[in-house]
Structure 1
Amino acid sequence: MALPAQSLPAVSGTVQASAGALIAYATVTLHRAADSVVVKTEFSDEQGAFRLEALAGRRYLVSVSQVGYARHWGEAFELIRSGVVLPPIRLVTSQATALKEVTVTARKPLYEHQAGRTVVNVADSPLSAGATTLDVLGRAPGVTLDASNNPSLRGRQGLLVVVDGKRVPLTGEDLASYLRALPAEQVQSVELLTNPPAQYDAQGGAGVIAINLKKDQRLGTNGSANASYGRGEYGKLTAGLSLNHRRKNINYFGNYTYTNRRDFARQEFDRQYAAAGALPAARGSIVGKRVLDLASHSAKLGADINLTKASLLGLSLTGLLSQTNTANSSQTQFEDAGGALIGGNSSTTRQDIRRPSGSANVNFRHAFADSAAAAALSADADFAHYNTRRTLALATFSHYLAAGPSLLTGDQLSELQIAAVKIDYTRPLPRRARLDVGAKTTLVNSANNVAFLNEGVYDSSISTNFNYQEKVQAVYASLRGAATKTTFQAGLRAEQATIRTETDGELLREQNYLQFFPSASVQRTLNAQHTLALTASRRIDRPNYGQLNPLRSYFDATSYRSGNPDLVAQTSYNVELMHTFRQKFSTTLSYAQTDKPIVTVVQPAPDGGRLVVNRDVNLTTHNYYALTLTAPLEPAKWWTLYANGVFYYSRFRGYLAGTALDRQQPACILTASNTFSLPRSWSGELSGTFQSGEIWGFERARARGQLLLGVQRSFWAKQATLRLNVADVLYTAPIRSTSVYDGFTESFRLRQDTRVATVAFTYRFGSSKVAAARKRAAGADDELRRAGGL
């Protein structure tokens, strides 16, 4: 006999204004009382009534927000099997409400896990003090960085990185340099989306990493100042100031941050060359050290304007000026098959890299009725400009030849411009449904010019111009709905892409194609203990200008990086099935198939000799299977543990450099993050990550991990915060890997300045009143983050 379906008990009540009038469409959120994690969110109906179902026998609290009113936090209560009816909730207008009148029982948890999304709230983490955004990203659960600083999410590369909703069109060292120059002090949270809906750009087969920057919501004039100093082998300084002035109908804001960091990279290569033509079999050993000096200035100015009660206008300007000076020294020796020395050299490589960049945004949002559930229209126009000026001086001294030293100099200028215009419309439908539609046009232009001089003579064989143009026009529609115990979403995005590449004025390739990217998800509450969610999507990764650009960037006398003009886009199909137990423990099964996967390889350069090139290529297929386990625990009232494990299996197939590839390997990524409430208002965090050995194309990486420790304390009525942390305590983060081909093998080891102790101080000043909880204009920042922005 079939068992009857279990119904969940509910907490219910009404929302009223202070004068007693009922408030429709207020946002009512149910939180776990222990840590304020969101359990469920609903709108109040036309009569101000709400009903939220949840598990019985647990303690919860309710928060309520609405335009023009201060956010209300209720008392904690236990939900009994017969349900709980709360007394009428009365909201007070925001103008009369100060921060001291609102009692929040707990700060936002470090991690929030939802179907297809993990949110890392780094703003309150002591480990973020003095760190860069690249550091924060590399420590997020399931995220790893390879030797080229390409991020992977749960063992897969191919990610869309957005900062405040705006796409960052960079990869590898260019992306790393950008994120390294952006201090973690500016970051509010990092969101990891494995199967984003149709509102997001289809770019990013492995998902989306959304970096959300801080924004002060206090009324009046206020701000904060921060400074930190870290010491590893070298020093790392960060200092910043933010100011905000918010009145009833307008908000002005601005911030500035200065960063000065010195880092090192010690590299060791062991290369085995098979006999090729006139060259005999040989072994090459290279030992080098690179010292990197980074100085950056980042700033943002903007204003949010309430044109009417229903219309919001936002304007913002951002700028990032970074200068990186690197000095690399290396020693190389070659031996024949019998171990006898047959050659060698020493080299020094000096590079000066200047990266000024800036962006501008104009956005508009209009609600067609004065309620949170009304139809809304938002529009955004973005323009971004990235410049890179790179000068090179590579001096090589031969150990075994009578010839004198050689000198290669280079001057490279790259200009990247991105313009995007988008419009989004959302409309509530009957029966708790919602329709989202939108359109977007993105234009990318990149002009690159490099001139190499070999002993003062122009070298036309490696000097060239490269131009890249990309135009993507997209439209999407997404429908969300809910029925009894079931929610669903179905979307379709269409993107028309036109890509053109030129070298020295000659057309290399022109592509013009239309592709469709469906996505769908459904979530079903089975009973009081179990929930299932299924998501599926098709996504794409188009190679960007840096991956296509054939211009060279030399590491030393034996190695350089170059793009590959023959790269084509990779496409992937992604499916996830997630089970949630007791609204907190989750188990996720994932599968993805990627066609023409883009992977980074090292192999002998086409120039011949003993040069090695690092570049991206297309393989045939990548099959990926994963099991992800997530468990937020509370072993004691003062101790919260977030444990995450990703167990995955990758198989790559393809053909390159005379080598047929069919390699597979299981791997895992383990993360455990502990937060502690300590005596005398101190709090602490202890975090550890472990990445097992894994395979990526022709490369096999060895296991590595990192242990981090931090403490913090607030004082002076919580206006000041002192933070102390130590990163990579045991110095276990060095990267070791081996790439194997039929005629060439390279073993690689990279050690960096990752063991760093940091002290940081932050002081907040000004008004303590908080603006009403509502959707504000700045990008309609919420809308930008939802829709993927630029």
Structure 2
Amino acid sequence: MKIIKQFTCVLLLCCGIAFGQNSGKINGQLAFPANPESVLLQLLSADGKTLIKTEISEPDGSFTFKNLLPGNYIVIADDEKYSYHSEPISLSPEKPEFTISAVLTKKSTQLSEVTVQKKKQIIENRIDKTIVNVDAMITAAGGDAMEVLEKSPGIVVDENGTITFKGKTGVAVFIDDKPSYLSGAELEAYLKSLPASTLNQIELMTNPPAKYDAAGGGGVINIITKKSKARGFNGSATARLRQGKKGSTNESVNLNYVEDKIRIFGNLSYSFQQPRNDLYIYRIFKNEDLTTKSYFDQYSYLTGKNNSGTARVGMDYYASEKTTFGVNLTGMLRSSKKSSDVESVLRNAALALDSTIIARNTTDNHFSNVGVNLNFRHDLEKGRKITADADYLNYSNATDQRFRNFVYQPDNSLTSQDEQIGDLPSDIDIISLKTDYSHPLKNDGSFETGYKISISKTDNVADYRDIVGDSQMPNFDMSNHFKYDEIINAAYVNFNTTYKRFTFQTGLRLENTQSKGNQLGNEVKPASRFSHNYTNLFPTVYVQYKLDSIGNNQLVTSYGKRINRPYYEDLNPFISPLDKFTFYSGNPYLNPSFAHYV
């Protein structure tokens, strides 16, 4: 039993290992008939009917497909100059990694007849972004935004819905050039409820230009939705049923009406999911001299049911050929119930059993989001234009937790049990105003500038109580009330020009951040306050050189500076539990981190 009491003191000394099923990987090296260059590669199911993933090879010809499930695959390359078709590749738990050497075949250029057809490519490379054309991705039909992202180059989505972009977390997701302000389960639920049929393009930016917020070291994903201008009334409906160990459904309705100077559009969607996860954590606790102190094995079986619905309604009023006013209303409701059955086995340094803890934990979560956007666009003379947006967003979250733990000795006798409940409501309000101006220049150049202010207020409560008999006793050590306010002022300039086969783009963004936190305290814990105020410059530089006159092959280099600001929960100094043995606590003295990307 001494080991149990020491866990929270030595937790930071432990190391954990989690095992997942989608850890497969296919590595490859392309062999070119001529000079190496970047080529679009597609990973397909072995029958060639299902697109699993796309990737763009590195300039030296290397490529990797990550986070693959066991199964049979083929890799193909099919661009304007080269082709390749691999033999079937089999991945299994026993052999999760495979390496291929791909010899590309140069396509013949002999023509007997010329027929000109305009075909939209799946992938387009620009100086500051990679564009995925969703309509050109045939397998996107009937899917959702999350599935399109999973098939996009450089994107990996793990079993928990976390998005990484070229190996980096902290990706900022935008919808029509507006930050979603969503993360984690809420972002996953929203993207899975957004039908692929409503998407036009996905812009992937590892080093975003100065126009975008400097926050987010993982880059920016900008999802651009369709805006039909077909006159009259039109709409579509989709429904999907997926059956694995548990079933899931996605349904959506899209409506669009255009008449004279008015366009009205809307989307309603609903999804139901039943996720299941197995988690294994192995920890070794060390003494000060680094000898082994104890061992900890934890196996968790997590199940849940998620219901989510989203709505988007908007109207554009075309006051003239050059002026447009618009309003958008968005909303989301999500409820989820999760349960986890956890068995933790504690052993001493000699591997003798010390005790076993059985945990029965449940979480009931209700999330809602409401957004209002007012926008304006005016086209000036000679290609100049000015835009303005005003946004209000509210995020409300209510979480009820229950932790039940039963401790057994090696002879299976029950020696203790405890129960704890938690009520965690939180509310976030965001107001954002921004304006942008663009001015075309000669040589296909452009100049852009803009300003943005974002004001956010967060109110977060954690009320924990211990169950003693039929009574509920407040746990003041874990309960807290945390308020956090943040104001960000930003201005930017961006310049782009072309000279022969060279394209140059440079930008500079200035951001000032003012934040303050207020931990209200309780009967046991004292109140505390903190504040931060800092101003930073974020330069970006891009250089592109076209290896051929039509730009099929390019060399691009870029530099950018980014910032990672601590989230409000990272600044909250109170302890929050994940389970009986795992806690996290914020640090109010955390400073933002900066990254330079080349």
Is the TM-score greater than 0.5?
Answer: yes
* Distance (Å, rounded) in 2 between the aligned partners of 1:266 and 1:276: 33
Correspondence 1:486 to 2:495: no
* Distance (Å, rounded) in 2 between the aligned partners of 1:408 and 1:129: 46
Partner of 2:407: 398
Q: 1:194 aligns with which of 191, 198, 206?
A: 206
Q: CA deviation at 1:531?
A: 3.9
Partner of 1:264: 276
Per mean C-alpha deviation after superposition, the further-off stretch among 171-180 and 458-467 is 171-180
Q: Any conservation in 1 of the 2:192–2:271 contact (CA below 8 Å)?
A: no
* Higher RCO by CA contacts (8 Å cutoff, separation 6 or greater): 1
* Distance (Å, rounded) in 1 between the aligned partners of 2:124 and 2:243: 31
1:132-531 map, 5 Å: 132-145=144-157, 149-182=161-194, 184=196, 186-275=198-287, 281-369=293-381, 373-400=382-409, 402-455=414-467, 456-504=472-520, 506-525=527-546, 528=549, 531=554
Amino acid at match of 2:389: D
Q: Any conservation in 1 of the 2:275–2:303 contact (CA below 8 Å)?
A: yes
Distance verdict in 2 for CA 1:128–1:565, change over 3 Å: farther
Q: CA deviation at 1:555?
A: 4.1
* Distance (Å, rounded) in 2 between the aligned partners of 1:330 and 1:290: 9
Q: CA deviation at 1:444?
A: 1.2
Distance verdict in 2 for CA 1:127–1:484, change over 3 Å: closer
Distance verdict in 2 for CA 1:236–1:201, change over 3 Å: same
Q: Any conservation in 2 of the 1:521–1:533 contact (CA below 8 Å)?
A: yes
Q: Secondary structure at the match of 1:137?
A: helix
Distance verdict in 2 for CA 1:275–1:149, change over 3 Å: farther
If the length of structure 1 is used for normalisation, what is the TM-score? 0.57
* Distance (Å, rounded) in 1 between the aligned partners of 2:473 and 2:288: 30
Q: Any conservation in 1 of the 2:443–2:498 contact (CA below 8 Å)?
A: yes
If the length of structure 2 is used for normalisation, what is the TM-score? 0.74
Q: Any conservation in 1 of the 2:491–2:510 contact (CA below 8 Å)?
A: yes
Q: Secondary structure at the match of 1:567?
A: coil
Q: CA deviation at 1:233?
A: 0.7
Q: Any conservation in 1 of the 2:142–2:238 contact (CA below 8 Å)?
A: no
Per mean C-alpha deviation after superposition, the further-off stretch among 479-488 and 237-246 is 479-488
Q: Any conservation in 2 of the 1:130–1:229 contact (CA below 8 Å)?
A: no
Distance verdict in 2 for CA 1:571–1:352, change over 3 Å: same
Distance verdict in 2 for CA 1:183–1:527, change over 3 Å: closer
Amino acid at match of 1:573: H
1:713-732 map, 5 Å: none
Q: Secondary structure at the match of 1:405?
A: strand
Matched length: 478
Per mean C-alpha deviation after superposition, the further-off stretch among 241-250 and 109-118 is 109-118
Partner of 1:569: 592
Partner of 1:48: none
* Distance (Å, rounded) in 2 between the aligned partners of 1:330 and 1:184: 37
Q: Any conservation in 1 of the 2:406–2:414 contact (CA below 8 Å)?
A: no
* Distance (Å, rounded) in 1 between the aligned partners of 2:360 and 2:560: 48
Q: Secondary structure at the match of 2:597?
A: strand
Distance verdict in 2 for CA 1:340–1:182, change over 3 Å: farther
Structure 2: runs of 5 or more not aligned: 1-77, 82-108, 522-526
Distance verdict in 2 for CA 1:221–1:171, change over 3 Å: closer
* Distance (Å, rounded) in 1 between the aligned partners of 2:196 and 2:245: 21
Distance verdict in 2 for CA 1:293–1:441, change over 3 Å: same
Q: Any conservation in 2 of the 1:551–1:563 contact (CA below 8 Å)?
A: yes
- Residue by residue over 1:32-63, the C-alpha shift from the partner in whole angstroms, topping out at 9 and shown as x without a partner, is xx9999xxxxxxxxxxxxxxxxxxx799xxxx
* Distance (Å, rounded) in 2 between the aligned partners of 1:387 and 1:182: 20
- Residue by residue over 1:430-452, the C-alpha shift from the partner in whole angstroms, topping out at 9 and shown as x without a partner, is 44432211111011111100100
Seq. identity, % = 28
* Distance (Å, rounded) in 2 between the aligned partners of 1:385 and 1:559: 30
Q: Secondary structure at the match of 2:579?
A: coil
* Distance (Å, rounded) in 2 between the aligned partners of 1:214 and 1:392: 40
- Residue by residue over 1:680-716, the C-alpha shift from the partner in whole angstroms, topping out at 9 and shown as x without a partner, is xxxxxxxxxxxxxxxxxxxxxxxxxxxxxxxxxxxxx
Q: CA deviation at 1:388?
A: 0.8
Q: Secondary structure at the match of 1:281?
A: strand
Q: CA deviation at 1:281?
A: 1.6
Amino acid at match of 2:520: D
Amino acid at match of 1:434: S
* Distance (Å, rounded) in 2 between the aligned partners of 1:551 and 1:514: 28
Q: Secondary structure at the match of 2:566?
A: coil
* Distance (Å, rounded) in 2 between the aligned partners of 1:240 and 1:174: 18
Q: CA deviation at 1:128?
A: 4.0
Amino acid at match of 1:426: S
Distance verdict in 2 for CA 1:533–1:416, change over 3 Å: same
* Distance (Å, rounded) in 2 between the aligned partners of 1:558 and 1:523: 52
Distance verdict in 2 for CA 1:280–1:154, change over 3 Å: closer
Q: Secondary structure at the match of 2:260?
A: coil
- Residue by residue over 1:371-390, the C-alpha shift from the partner in whole angstroms, topping out at 9 and shown as x without a partner, is xx521111100111111100
Q: Any conservation in 1 of the 2:127–2:542 contact (CA below 8 Å)?
A: no
Q: Secondary structure at the match of 2:383?
A: coil
Q: Secondary structure at the match of 2:362?
A: strand
Partner of 2:557: 534
Amino acid at match of 1:525: K
Q: Any conservation in 2 of the 1:171–1:546 contact (CA below 8 Å)?
A: no
Q: CA deviation at 1:346?
A: 0.7
1:71-86 map, 5 Å: 76-77=115-116
Distance verdict in 2 for CA 1:76–1:257, change over 3 Å: same
